Structure 1
Amino acid sequence: MTAIEPASEAATAVPARLVWRALYAHFRPHRAAVALGALLALIGAASGLAQPLAAKALVDRLGQDEPIAAVLLALTALVVFGTAVDALGSYVLERTAESVVLAARRSLIGRLLRLRLPEVEKTQPGDLMSRITSDTTLLRAVTTQSVVSAATGGLSFVATLVLMGFMDPVLLGVTLGVIVLIGGAVALLMPRIAAATRRSQEAVGEISTVLERAFGAFRTIKASGAEARETAVVDAAAERAWRHGVKSAKWQSLAGSSIGLAVQVSFLAVLGIGGARVASGATTVSSLIAFLLFLFYLIEPVSKLVEAATQFQVGSAAVSRILEAEALEVEEAGEAGEAGDAREAGGLVGGLVGGPAGGLVGGLVGGPAGDGGPAERAVGAGPASVVFDDVAFRYRDDLPPVHHGVSFEVPGRGMTAFVGPSGAGKTTVFGLIERFYEATGGRVLVDGRDVREWPLAELRASIGYVEQDAPVLSGTLRENLTFAAPDATEEEIRQVLVRARLDGLVERLPDGLDTVVGHRGSKLSGGERQRVAIARALLRKPRLLLLDEATSQLDAVNELALRDVVAEVARDVTVLVVAHRLSTVTMAERIVVMEAGRVRAVGTHAELVAGDELYGELAATQFLAAVEGAKEGARVGTA
């Protein structure tokens, strides 16, 4: 295992207009709630501004030996009212902020789950998860609190300066001079905060990536004695996150402390100059006290402005990463739908796959592909035809081609097997049929219709696919079986369990179908996971069944049994099989031999043994070994 590359030392620059546009998109649905929070904040700010004026009146009454009870009562009421309104406004904003994060996560999750497969394969899953969890969290402050802080802080700042100007324009000039000087220094810190925050978020994404990789190969790590090395990799990513987080905290602390410095310097300057003005009679003591109270009150709006600027820098770093994720290519909205809707759209009718002949109604409309039928065919039940017409494909422009003009025809119904050395492009055939990838040349036709013209939900609803590693998801066995067919009945589930030789397993499990299978099916054996994947595909009632090394981890007895199931299914469904065990493919009606991204030969087992040298070599080695293994398995099964 190799270490994950550290985050770039230079933060990616995102145009400010894109950041603002993205922030507004998150803010817009909640603008009414934010406006309410802002209104409450302004009311609280207004009550705060009235407090120095009340204090001035109190001092004047004390100097004139007048009653002060009414003024004290008013001042107390202002304090209590302002505190209550601030608390309510804070709650409104916090609640709205959580709603912003929820909406952002829903949108991003919905988009990332529609990513095209090549995009997923070139992106670290842990980093994508970090963008959903960590980066969206940073939107909480920037889309609500920072907006309100900037608005209320700005208005309060201006209102306070106006009142201070009425009190004493000279002292106001002194105050502004100090604030402008220190404010300029704070502005220089903002880009540093954004850069450090982005690097910190990238490092957090690295941690997620490393952990996702480690837990995905947990047994391999333990068997290799690599715990210490993997721990060091995670530690390195965590240390990078810490280092950049500390750097961001340093710049934010400097920005925050500058506010106190500005007020303290302003206080000393105002106290000195104001004292001289009181001594000269240019102003009164009560006015100086009120001015100093306004000066201390100025801390809050200035703090809000600095906080808003800081949060914007932090948020812009998160938004830029979210924008990068949203820029990844996705399948068109509405193409990939829920299985239930797709099954209905596909017009699938009839009984469970593998049932009696005629359980799936009808044949292909217009006959099999390649017979001159129209490109647009009605979508019906029955087995699907597949045609590859001079297909070329490469995974990326910088990689060599995988397919070089691949052509073959598979009529509806029956089994077609794909054999050849590793790297011949067999599994890629299935990826192109499912439209996980787009052909770079030629055409892939299903029912005589280019797969690029099919709505994805409709196309994939017609296909059952068993991947090479037969993934099983966390959850119960029932949830895994019905993952692609959530509307399956208990009777359909029971039948498919029998066909996939899983009925005995279900009887042994403590909770039957409701038994939790563990992370990635860790509580199941490799063969059991493959049978679950096969059962899941059969329960989907496909018109086209794709089996990619679907029996590679099965013992000989179960392999022979499932071969019979597949042969029975092939009477009503088109079955395509990729297998290295030639014992699996000898019963196929046709065998496509592939080598180095080309179709080398097509024929039956007997024809190819006699007429194709490569297939003859494979048959002479792998097939004979498989036969011996099957005989041994049969002896064990009858012992």
Structure 2
Amino acid sequence: MEVSDTQSTRRDARTTQRDGRAREEREPRPGAAEDRAHDRAKDGTAENLSARETWRALYRHFRPHRATVALGGFLALIGTVSGLAQPLAAKSLVDRLGEDGSITGILLLLTGLVLAGTAIEAVASYILERTAESVVLAARRTLIGRLLRLRLPAVERTQPGDLMSRVTSDTTLLRAVTTQSIVSAATGGLAFLTTVVLMGLLDPVLLGVTLGVIVLIGGAVALVMPRISRATRQSQAAVGEISTVLERAFGAFRTVKASGAEERETAVVAAAAQEAWRHGVRSAKWQSVAGASVGLAIQVSFLAVLGIGGARVASGAIAVSTLVAFLLYLFYLIDPVSKLVTAVTQYQVGSAAIARIAEAERLETETLEPGEPEAVGGRGPATVTFEDVTFRYRDDLPYVHHGVTFEVPGPGMTAFVGPSGAGKTTVFGLIERFYEATGGRVLIDGRDVRDWPLTGLRAAIGYVEQDAPVLAGTLRENLVFAAPGASDEEIREVLVRARLDGLVERLPDGLETLVGHRGSKLSGGERQRVAIARALLRKPRLLLLDEATSQLDAVNELALRDAVAEAAREVTVLVVAHRLSTVTLADRIVVMDAGRVRAVGTHEELVAKDPLYGELAATQFLTAAR
């Protein structure tokens, strides 16, 4: 089959206009939110949430634990009440001393109040701290589950290190704001109001002096709160940048060393750490200002009350015991005021973290159905059809596919060949639904892949990526990664087919041998064989091989070609290959160029009728005989 460029261009224009209009009418452009998030990430800032949105997000994290937090808050309130009774007991003690009465009962009462208040507050603190850790755990589980379901375009637009920072660093900041901050605001507010009422009952004049000083200094504190939030947000973004640059360096560790780039990469990481330090110090500075203002307000109030109260005692307006009780309440006021300031400060810090977490939660995810995935279309080899498919990765990027059309029956092997950038690997990404076609349809067994359950679709496919990634862990864990229920007999069989049985015998711990970070303890060819074995162990209906034998020596390549050819008798195999030895085994070959299908046929047919394939066969495939 041969498709002319003129026909493809006309069809591409019609399809793009039709599907583009329909998609815009149905839903917003996929990835628009990710684009905005990516742009903000480049600026090192997170999206600002309104106060209502922040509280709504806070409540979502707080809600499952509200009963436990209420219990901790109730106990903290009891501890506060016991503290409020102490100045009154002290007043009675002073009055009793003036009357030469017995003070034993009052001393016992004071001692009991102190001990009971301390014990109750300790229990309340433990309950709240434990709940705070539970809030962080739940937030991390939810966020991790969501991030691992992100659509591939969303991941590609966001730095992995920044996403990891939101799971680790940002969720940690939820600890205080979702428990201590809420409880501190509630208990501190009630204690403050109660204390003020009791101080007013003792002497309204001294209360007016105290409140005047607190309001004056409190107004200044309110001005620094937005600065705390801004500095914290910038600090968290900088921490995310540290994770990003470290992930980049460790991801290409051998390249860093081979390039002699250790010092340069160290400088990059140090610069990111310096930026995080700078914003962290700025946040600490404003938090210190807020905290110190509390002590300043109380101390100034104490001096004012001591001077004015002493004058009122001298004039006989109030008794000495009243002044003593008032001063005790004044010192006691430090705690609720500190709690209120701490609650507001923690809220400012937490709101920055919540904004970054909420931003990650708005990234577009895939819908994975619960339960056991069922193979698409039942059993047997799958058929694959592309109907006038157009695709581009983003609206601001050029099209990768321009009306791609082909049909692959099953079973058998179909090879995709063409120059670099022709769109061969993208074919696999569309079949796996890593990406959605911009126009046209991708069909498996005659049904659009968008109509299949995503878990079922991928359960029917074995996919070997171009770089054949191997995960840190044991060899066994990597082999059963896509088929966790595989038996030992099935594993042994696939080891033989992938020519890994000899490797397993040489390894010190066999299948339980650790393969290192990204399979660093294995050679490139061994990693490819592990990836192929992993795909075969899944027993797929459709096997996708993207340059799966590019790093193998001639002996192992020949053996694996035989294994793939054997698999092609039972399943449908699609392979992207540049080696002639692999391509000539295919039942059909699809020649792609500049996002279009030029021709489809066997090796002999294409050599005779397609100039591009003939050139590839003579040069890229390294063969002179055609």
Query: 1:546·1:576 contact (CA, 8 Å) conserved in 2?
Result: yes
One-letter amino acid of the counterpart of residue 217, structure 1:
A
One-letter amino acid of the counterpart of residue 319, structure 1:
I
The corresponding residue for 1:426 is: 424
> Which of residues 526, 529, 538 in structure 1 aligns to 2:527?
529
Secondary structure class of the residue paired with 2:405: strand
The corresponding residue for 2:190 is: 155
Query: 2:617·2:623 contact (CA, 8 Å) conserved in 1?
Result: no
Structure 1 position 30 matched with structure 2 position 59: no
Q: What CA distance in whole angstroms lies between the structure 1 residues aligned with 2:330 and 2:392?
A: 68
Q: What CA distance in whole angstroms lies between the structure 2 residues aligned with 1:68 and 1:8?
A: 67
The corresponding residue for 2:375 is: 346
Q: What CA distance in whole angstroms lies between the structure 2 residues aligned with 1:520 and 1:572?
A: 31
Query: 1:44·1:81 contact (CA, 8 Å) conserved in 2?
Result: yes
Query: 2:471·2:517 contact (CA, 8 Å) conserved in 1?
Result: yes
> Which of residues 174, 177, 182 in structure 1 aligns to 2:209?
174
Instruction: State the shift of 1:623 in Å.
Output: 3.0
> Which of residues 381, 384, 387 in structure 2 aligns to 1:386?
384
Query: 1:383·1:574 contact (CA, 8 Å) conserved in 2?
Result: yes
> Which of residues 461, 472, 496 in structure 1 aligns to 2:459?
461
State the TM-score, normalizing by the size of structure 1. 0.91
Q: What CA distance in whole angstroms lies between the structure 1 residues aligned with 2:478 and 2:624?
A: 30
Instruction: State the shift of 1:9 in Å.
Output: 6.9
One-letter amino acid of the counterpart of residue 165, structure 2:
S
Instruction: State the shift of 1:8 in Å.
Output: 3.5
Q: What CA distance in whole angstroms lies between the structure 1 residues aligned with 2:304 and 2:619?
A: 95
Query: 2:89·2:106 contact (CA, 8 Å) conserved in 1?
Result: yes
Q: What CA distance in whole angstroms lies between the structure 1 residues aligned with 2:466 and 2:591?
A: 19
The corresponding residue for 1:105 is: 140
One-letter amino acid of the counterpart of residue 307, structure 1:
T
Secondary structure class of the residue paired with 1:623: coil
Q: What CA distance in whole angstroms lies between the structure 2 residues aligned with 1:398 and 1:274?
A: 73
Structure 1 position 260 matched with structure 2 position 289: no
The corresponding residue for 2:336 is: 301
Instruction: State the shift of 1:346 in Å.
Output: 1.7
Please give the per-residue CA displacement for 1:280-325, whole angstroms capped at 9, x wherever unaligned.
1000000000000000000000000000000000000000000000
One-letter amino acid of the counterpart of residue 242, structure 2:
I
The corresponding residue for 2:243 is: 208
The corresponding residue for 2:170 is: 135
The corresponding residue for 1:606 is: 604
Indicate the RMSD between aligned Cα atoms, in angstroms: 1.5
Unaligned runs of 5+ in 2: 1-38
Percent identity between the two aligned chains = 80
Secondary structure class of the residue paired with 1:491: helix
Please give the per-residue CA displacement for 1:54-83, whole angstroms capped at 9, x wherever unaligned.
111111111111111111111011101100
Please give the per-residue CA displacement for 1:74-95, whole angstroms capped at 9, x wherever unaligned.
1011101100000000000000
> Which of residues 481, 488, 491 in structure 2 aligns to 1:490?
488
Query: 1:464·1:541 contact (CA, 8 Å) conserved in 2?
Result: yes
Q: What CA distance in whole angstroms lies between the structure 1 residues aligned with 2:258 and 2:623?
A: 29
Q: Within 5 Å, give how 1:125-524 maps onto structure 2.
A: 125-332=160-367, 334-335=368-369, 341-342=372-373, 345-346=374-375, 379-524=377-522
Q: Within 5 Å, give how 1:575-594 maps onto structure 2.
A: 575-594=573-592
More divergent stretch after superposition (4-13 vs 426-435): 4-13
Query: 1:492·1:539 contact (CA, 8 Å) conserved in 2?
Result: yes
Please give the per-residue CA displacement for 1:423-474, whole angstroms capped at 9, x wherever unaligned.
0000000000000000000000001000000000010000000000000000
Q: What CA distance in whole angstroms lies between the structure 1 residues aligned with 2:428 and 2:270?
A: 40
1:170–1:9 distance in 2 versus 1, CA, 3 Å: farther
Instruction: State the shift of 1:583 in Å.
Output: 1.5
More divergent stretch after superposition (616-625 vs 167-176): 616-625
> Which of residues 611, 614, 617 in structure 2 aligns to 1:616?
614
Q: What CA distance in whole angstroms lies between the structure 2 residues aligned with 1:255 and 1:555?
A: 67
Instruction: State the shift of 1:380 in Å.
Output: 1.2
> Which of residues 573, 586, 595 in structure 2 aligns to 1:597?
595
Q: Within 5 Å, give how 1:12-31 maps onto structure 2.
A: 12-31=47-66
Instruction: State the shift of 1:625 in Å.
Output: 4.8
Q: Within 5 Å, give how 1:61-140 maps onto structure 2.
A: 61-140=96-175
Q: What CA distance in whole angstroms lies between the structure 2 residues aligned with 1:7 and 1:185?
A: 34
Instruction: State the shift of 1:13 in Å.
Output: 2.0
1:221–1:409 distance in 2 versus 1, CA, 3 Å: same
Q: What CA distance in whole angstroms lies between the structure 2 residues aligned with 1:10 and 1:409?
A: 47
Q: What CA distance in whole angstroms lies between the structure 1 residues aligned with 2:48 and 2:307?
A: 46
Instruction: State the shift of 1:581 in Å.
Output: 1.1
Query: 1:11·1:195 contact (CA, 8 Å) conserved in 2?
Result: no
Q: What CA distance in whole angstroms lies between the structure 2 residues aligned with 1:5 and 1:138?
A: 21
The corresponding residue for 2:563 is: 565
For these two proteins, the number of residue pairs brought into alignment is 588
Q: What CA distance in whole angstroms lies between the structure 1 residues aligned with 2:55 and 2:110?
A: 41
Instruction: State the shift of 1:6 in Å.
Output: 8.8
Secondary structure class of the residue paired with 1:577: strand
Instruction: State the shift of 1:243 in Å.
Output: 0.3
Query: 2:72·2:127 contact (CA, 8 Å) conserved in 1?
Result: yes
The corresponding residue for 2:26 is: none
Query: 1:582·1:626 contact (CA, 8 Å) conserved in 2?
Result: no
Q: What CA distance in whole angstroms lies between the structure 2 residues aligned with 1:8 and 1:610?
A: 55
Q: What CA distance in whole angstroms lies between the structure 2 residues aligned with 1:570 and 1:115?
A: 32
Q: What CA distance in whole angstroms lies between the structure 2 residues aligned with 1:12 and 1:454?
A: 35
Query: 1:583·1:626 contact (CA, 8 Å) conserved in 2?
Result: no
Secondary structure class of the residue paired with 1:622: coil
Q: What CA distance in whole angstroms lies between the structure 1 residues aligned with 2:460 and 2:509?
A: 32
Please give the per-residue CA displacement for 1:252-306, whole angstroms capped at 9, x wherever unaligned.
0000000000001100110111011001100000000000000000000000000
Instruction: State the shift of 1:10 in Å.
Output: 6.2
Q: What CA distance in whole angstroms lies between the structure 2 residues aligned with 1:207 and 1:121?
A: 18
Query: 1:474·1:519 contact (CA, 8 Å) conserved in 2?
Result: yes
Q: What CA distance in whole angstroms lies between the structure 2 residues aligned with 1:251 and 1:494?
A: 63
Unaligned runs of 5+ in 1: 348-378, 628-639
One-letter amino acid of the counterpart of residue 32, structure 1:
A
Q: What CA distance in whole angstroms lies between the structure 1 residues aligned with 2:622 and 2:290?
A: 76
Q: What CA distance in whole angstroms lies between the structure 2 residues aligned with 1:277 and 1:488?
A: 87
